[in-house]
Amino acid sequence: MRASTFFSTALFAATVLAHGNITSPPARQPGPNMAKVCGSAAVSAILADGTGPLENIPSNGNPNCNIFMCKGAQFADNTAKVQTYAPGQVVPFKAVLPIPHEGPANVSIIDTASNTVVGLPLIEFASYADENLAVLPANNTAFKVAMPTNLNGACQVAGECTMQWFWFGTNAAQTYENCVDFVMTA
């Protein structure tokens, strides 16, 4: 009895890895445009576990499908979620980390056309979601970023930029992303 409980616990620990999701502001979700670009299997993987890692999402090989940008979620499926921010505005984030796994994390503005980072990361964690701590620091699940004041006209068109939460669970070797679409006011 005891041995079998131990065995199933060990099996659980070996198969379940890190998980997380940005719940606020509203992050990009999969939809019909993602199914067109990345295939329906990729959409199904996210619908099956919206907190799972990028490594669990199968790409269909379409060069226009980049699972490593916004989990492959497409702006066209998320136009109703675009947030509007002013330079210097402080934006509160909320995350759920049902299964933490220690590693670095950050939030950065991404130029979606080139998948490159715009400016400096808005927040950086050298060590995030450390499952060895009895309690995670409060800032792992509730943190704030200040919007840059030096974007010089960038990110004023919806879809041009997105704010990407990026977390890498080092031992699990798994990557987590969520994107918050936004426009900057002038």
Ligand X SMILES: *[C@@H]1O[C@H](CO)[C@@H](O)[C@H](O)[C@H]1NC(C)=O
- Contacts with ligand X, residue ranges (CB under 6 A): 21-23, 26-27, 29, 50-51, 96, 104, 106, 108, 117, 121, 123, 125, 137, 139, 166, 168
- At its nearest, how many Å lie between ligand X and the CB of residue 123? 5
- At its nearest, how many Å lie between ligand X and the CB of residue 63? 22
Task: Compute the distance between CA of residue 130 and CA of residue 125 in angstroms, rounded to an integer.
Answer: 11
Q: Closest CB to ligand X among 106 and 112?
A: 106
Which residue number is nearest to ligand X in terms of Cβ?
Answer: 50
Kindly state the helix (H) or strand (E) to which residue 127 belongs, with its residue range. Answer: strand 116-128
Task: Label the pairing between strands 83-85 and 90-99.
Answer: unpaired
Distances (CA, A) of 105 to 127, 129, 166: 7, 9, 5
Task: Compute the distance between CA of residue 7 and CA of residue 12 in angstroms, rounded to an integer.
Answer: 9
- At its nearest, how many Å lie between ligand X and the CB of residue 110? 9
Q: Closest CB to ligand X among 62 and 170?
A: 170
Q: Closest CB to ligand X among 10 and 47?
A: 47
Is the backbone of residue 155 left (phi > 0), alpha (psi -120 to 50) or beta?
Answer: left
Q: Closest CB to ligand X among 35 and 123?
A: 123
Quote the distance between the C-alpha of residue 145 and its chain's center.
15
- At its nearest, how many Å lie between ligand X and the CB of residue 7? 29
Q: Closest CB to ligand X among 62 and 92?
A: 92
